[in-house]
Amino acid sequence: METAQPPQLPAPPRRASVVVTLPREESQRRVQMSDIFRAYERLIPITVLGRTFHVPEKNSLLRAFQYVSPETIPYGRFCWNQECQYCKVTCKLPDDDEARPMLACKFLVVPGMEVTELSPELKWCLSRKLGGGELPQPPAVEGRPTPEEISSP
């Protein structure tokens, strides 16, 4: 007695697979991230709470923070257009005598600038890059920042 053979299905179409190997050079990182950063030719030093980072020139300070911490800044509650005030910082520019408050989403980075205070949202997002012990408590999750959060970076 012959056993019935199951009908044969056509083979699934072959898909071409492409393997892309990306060099780990800094210039390649610039190309990969070019869609979110303004065009830049070099990295410039800035100091954030005493720690120096090299960030892309010609970009806002908030984008520079995103370059430093791409795994957290995009998920912060930042509006990127100065409405929310979650990116408020205090900075001292190289040609200034005193630090002044500003919004990181609106101010372009300058070589040698020093960020001396961060908003709670930025402090939380940058805490792993800044180090310094325990992680701070996450900022409040709902609503706009409180007056205390806005007035004290």
**Least confidently predicted of 6-15, 20-29, 135-144:** 20-29
Sole residue written with tokens 């806005």: 150
pLDDT digits (tens, 9 = 90+) for 90-104: 999 999 999 999 999
Closest CA to 65 of 128, 126, 150, 139: 126
Tens of pLDDT, residues 46-59: 999 999 999 999 99
pTM reported for the whole predicted model: 0.67
Backbone angles phi, psi at 102, to 5 degrees: -160, 165
What are the structural domains of the chain?
Answer: 26-128+136-151 (3.10.20)
